[in-house]
Structure 1
């Protein structure tokens, strides 16, 4: 297409030059005499296989544009019969139309079986890679000449042939001695099977190799009957669960940000290699490596938490020990399915799966397996204790109960009144507080709280907040009172604070004991189910598993006028959803650690606003949007999703720019010092775009940046939106995923 366009341009220019020459030579514009007839040209050659131009494609634009059809009745890919492969391949052309994909010269085939387990070791079904089970590699190649060279190895391959009468339709046959490498003579042809293909050597129209692996969708079927299978019984984790944190690839449709093996990024692909047959050496196992998928994913997600428990005998590799898992490890259903027929993860406990996290257990000696050090030679006894009851995964891990426990302590502010003369005013706050479902009767009832900070500040006419930040404020402060069942807090304020609309709330934490009641987070306690002493791994004096108090921010007007609420609770000015944060974090109170106990953006706003100066984790400001961008993009945490996928946090289709070129949130300046301000658009982009050239670009478009700050909060709107607003030539939607 590019060459075609260049040819048209050349003809057009040649025509212009020709006209110019006639004019310069003084031509009078008369037609010339016809020349003698030319010699007839040769007949044109037929197109490939008689196909019209455009009826097939041989190049692709991205890996996800390729589709495959594999019909079980046309294939023999399992057992000891004669190997036979047949499939069709299509790809989208420039217009997005599906066309036969012609010219493939190399594919590989993976075949696995959900084999019934006849032993007492492992689950009732387990994945078997048929190539490995037959004594070969995990997949087999098919090429045009029946041989392959890959990773420095040359060997026999099946012979791949494209049907000349049906471009895009391919067959593969095995012409060498012995059985084809994926044909496992001990296979169970009545068990669910999975096959998928990988295609090699595909390029785009410019001859550039496609970066992502081109994979077919896995086909699940029963070889004996050819029937398709909807549920293999082994898929207890869906790709959709992984995508909550890792994102959705726009080029493959699989998981977006798994670096290992590039883009075998589907759980249904992973099991082809990561199954019980793949085990570490004794040396690697001692370092914490494990490769069977259930145990491996548990170990990977255990990350830093397991590494920090090394003193208690837990194993973790150095590489995985750097991972900060964003959700409670005990919330199994963040990943695992509760659908009928997909619950073997909780119904059939095995040693291998459990030691993914419980890596301190040695089942040979029994060390670490309860206080009785129970040795287990196989898995035959696991279900006796762990399939149901108090020691089952759901109950022992308290799956789903964290969200219920938050309401064991509830705080709801019901009033705010000011009193006193100018210069010595106070604001009296009242709140309803319940603990374990009962209203508090005395101040000492609040001793169950760890953190007990009061969140309070002014709200201006634009919905911007300014925190009071008065030292010593808290729910259980000794001069607070309980009057008629209400908590009463008296706060001394300045005259500037004691005016107009204010917000009031709290961030507070507590622990839960074995009776399921709110309890003090005492490091010496032995009956805590949230707040175990060994879990204190975040540098806090409060255990990391403490819960946040159930509380909402309420708004009051100290002058009795109309209440102005903050922009953090205005849906029209918020482009991010807490539910999207919780899809990865489960609950924001866990993500913020035990020193906060916050669930909502309007709790976060007390510190993370654009009027409160100061640094945050090494960043130059505490503004919520820029802090979150920096935290997720600059290596502070091992962010699991693509940094350019805005939909991981932002509302689908949200417009980040307002009509005036500023941000939808209405932010116009971010305070970075007592008298210094920077502009918000550039600072948001600066989280990722950190080069000196980028900063120079920001400044040239009206931005104030750290080191060159403004001395007023009344800043003009940067001109970023001129080029980068949604829909513009270089709009953010052109380079970031917004839908």
Structure 2
């Protein structure tokens, strides 16, 4: 059972103050005057963001080294429709010329002195010479003169990054071109990670003011080594303030491991000092799935050399994550390694085994170990225990037939599991608090009904088990209800002579089934977000739940199951303590309504009202105030399935039966929660203010008060007048247009 409380009938409503934080919703606030508002006529709304394509496209058509040892690159500049642009249309353009050396890395010819350290650099296009060839085509001649003894047999790469301002937006283009100066065929390239992999989480990856967008450009500068132009010596390329190497294979690994770096865990922050002495501290970065999933970034289907991390391990790459290893002294390593020649001798790409010292074996994610037998649930049927019908009417008890099997198809007995539970919630229009115990209390005392199924009957001849709920369908129940299953089994992975032995909680997928209570046929709950689609939505960053990402003891892995409990009437009252204070402030719960909680968690450090704390099992404190979202919270399509984030009358959040979010003031009497006041926030306002916090809400929780809203006071019912699907200020129109990861590189920067 969950959320059992004692109600007092007094109901008071609280106003909420939130802060606006992104440009897209600023448009809604400034131009959001709608009918029935405060009498202020808003100016005409701006046009929706352009989605037809990048308004700046630069292609490098060719390159050569002239007799004066200056690089000449032929480029073509066009807009989104292919029309030629002039060089003068650009706000900025910079060029890089680098070569790939024996290590497989680039070495940039252009350098700068940064506080005594040699660093790679680019040259501003204003310093070179443009020759207009017509039709948007130019020859650009570098200022940089290559050394007289440059090796013309090596692969050389011209890279550029440029910007163009159109209205309030800055469009960006990155390009690279490989060539061999002596005329030979390009045989050596560097293509280990694709920007599409980066942009499956980042939206987009945009650094150095937003102009560096493509990994192919980044790696021409961010190399572990650089040539000191004064001495000709190859030296480490470092940030002189922190001493940290800024080579891509070191820096990116360290950034993504963040707070889990051994050095950070030991108290040494990982930071890099950037432009204008800005300190970038990555010590709090948390990778959103198991860091051992190397293929999240090294995706062989996107980058031709993605498997190099397996085939060619190096001290720099391995030591970047395992930074408590000193190869020169054999600290935390069995032998001294002064070069990379012997790395692959021990660390072969793969032996086919888990948890050995091969590259793939040593990065085995425990919950993906081949030795795990698998745990698979299925709900075969839901019927009434009283009538045997597929409709479970009010006052009746649900009888659930389900199966548990391993990956071989063998039946798994419930008693072999450490946890097995079935959960009911209803109705599917919007799950909420119900009277599952038949106490007669209205609206009820349980936000959902969850019962252990470890003592289920079976198996029968088909290998199925049967469980009959003790709780009943509420006497006032209507519509369709959902029932889901959760369970886990303790398994040991690893073994003798392997690098890891541990117990893991292998979980089955949370299957959810629907059954009619008063509906003629079951009507499933609408889908808003989805974590069951590979490499999309939740899984694009988190990977597969209960494999790469774990919540609630690894039990919960299906968003359609999560919302059975995380519904509008549920909060953390069952585990939230009453603080020891004597002041006038009364303890208030935090809602765990999915539509508010998930928005707030992902908004994280950009929340207007902090701290944002939810109390969990055993009174554990979960403070999400510092969450760093790697993408752009204005891109609703990162999480939402198509059309689930729009305001469409009669559909989705505006559909029938959608309920307000509830929070409560409470105290404890003899150890029991006693609710003093209840506060309500209507559905649309719940969703919008969970991210956009500069709008004040009235005491009833059903209207904006007018603060920071040019249209003045606005009831929730009027939101549809301006923000409906297809309107210039519609929710989809003022947020970022959806783009697949391979196209996100083209997103403009807002000025």
The structure in which a higher percent of residues are helix is 1
TM-score, structure 1 normalization: 0.67
TM-score, structure 2 normalization: 0.66
Residues 265-305 of structure 1 deviation map (CA, whole Å, 9 limit, x = unaligned): 221121122112154479846xxx44221222121111233
Deviation of 1:677 (Å): 3.5
Residues 7-26 of structure 1 deviation map (CA, whole Å, 9 limit, x = unaligned): xxxxxxxxxxxxxxxxxxxx
Counterpart selection for 1:505 from 473, 481, 484:
484
Distance 1:350 1:307, change over 3 A: closer
Quick one: distance in 2 between partners of 1:469 and 1:106?
57
- Tell me which residue corresponds to 1:218: 176
CA contact (8 A) 2:510 2:558 kept: no
Quick one: distance in 1 between partners of 2:341 and 2:646?
56
CA contact (8 A) 2:111 2:122 kept: no
The 3-state SS of whatever aligns with 2:254 is helix
- Tell me which residue corresponds to 2:343: 382
Deviation of 1:62 (Å): 13
Quick one: distance in 2 between partners of 1:261 and 1:96?
26
Quick one: distance in 2 between partners of 1:244 and 1:619?
35
Quick one: distance in 1 between partners of 2:386 and 2:524?
26
Structure 1 residues 366-445: aligned runs within 5 Å: 366-369=330-333, 373-387=334-348, 388-389=350-351, 390-398=356-364, 402=368, 408-419=374-385, 427-435=398-406, 437=408, 439=410, 443-445=414-416
RMSD across aligned C-alpha pairs, in angstroms? 4.6
1:237 maps onto 2:236 in alignment: no
User: In terms of Rg, which structure is larger?
Assistant: 1
- Tell me which residue corresponds to 1:48: none
Quick one: distance in 2 between partners of 1:554 and 1:131?
62
Deviation of 1:363 (Å): 1.3
Quick one: distance in 2 between partners of 1:424 and 1:65?
62
The 3-state SS of whatever aligns with 1:300 is helix
Structure 1 residues 35-434: aligned runs within 5 Å: 64-72=54-62, 75-76=64-65, 81-92=68-79, 97-102=83-88, 107-117=93-103, 125-132=104-111, 138-141=120-123, 157-158=127-128, 160-163=129-132, 166=134, 168=136, 170-172=138-140, 181=144, 183-185=146-148, 187-199=150-162, 214-225=172-183, 232-247=188-203, 256-277=204-225, 278-280=236-238, 284=242, 289-306=244-261, 310=265, 316=270, 319-339=281-301, 341-369=305-333, 373-387=334-348, 388-389=350-351, 390-398=356-364, 402=368, 408-419=374-385, 427-434=398-405
Distance 1:116 1:661, change over 3 A: same
Question: Which consecutive unaligned segments of at least 5 residues does structure 1 have?
Answer: 1-59, 118-124, 145-156, 175-179, 248-255, 517-524, 533-544, 704-715
Residues 176-200 of structure 1 deviation map (CA, whole Å, 9 limit, x = unaligned): xxxx536245544333322123458
Question: Which consecutive unaligned segments of at least 5 residues does structure 2 have?
Answer: 1-49, 226-235, 272-279, 388-392, 435-445, 577-587, 606-623, 665-677, 707-714, 739-751
Structure 1 residues 581-592: aligned runs within 5 Å: 581-589=538-546, 590-592=548-550
Deviation of 1:736 (Å): 0.9
- Tell me which residue corresponds to 1:17: none
Distance 1:492 1:469, change over 3 A: farther
- The number of equivalent residue pairs is 586
CA contact (8 A) 1:274 1:292 kept: yes
Distance 1:67 1:395, change over 3 A: same
CA contact (8 A) 1:130 1:187 kept: no
Residues 601-660 of structure 1 deviation map (CA, whole Å, 9 limit, x = unaligned): 211112122343457999842222222211111323200111111221223566622234
Quick one: distance in 1 between partners of 2:467 and 2:289?
34
Deviation of 1:106 (Å): 7.1
CA contact (8 A) 1:661 1:725 kept: no
Quick one: distance in 2 between partners of 1:696 and 1:562?
39
The 3-state SS of whatever aligns with 1:411 is strand
CA contact (8 A) 1:443 1:482 kept: no
CA contact (8 A) 1:567 1:574 kept: no
CA contact (8 A) 1:67 1:90 kept: yes
The 3-state SS of whatever aligns with 2:514 is strand
Deviation of 1:384 (Å): 1.0
- Tell me which residue corresponds to 2:34: none
1:496 maps onto 2:480 in alignment: no
Distance 1:506 1:100, change over 3 A: same
Counterpart selection for 1:651 from 638, 641, 661:
641
Structure with more contact order per residue of length (Cα contacts < 8 Å, sep ≥ 6): 2
Quick one: distance in 2 between partners of 1:527 and 1:665?
55
CA contact (8 A) 1:509 1:594 kept: no
Residues 79-124 of structure 1 deviation map (CA, whole Å, 9 limit, x = unaligned): x85314353453439x88433343779753201222223xxxxxxx
CA contact (8 A) 1:126 1:234 kept: yes
CA contact (8 A) 1:619 1:630 kept: no
Quick one: distance in 2 between partners of 1:400 and 1:338?
22
Distance 1:128 1:495, change over 3 A: closer
The 3-state SS of whatever aligns with 1:245 is coil
CA contact (8 A) 2:259 2:265 kept: no
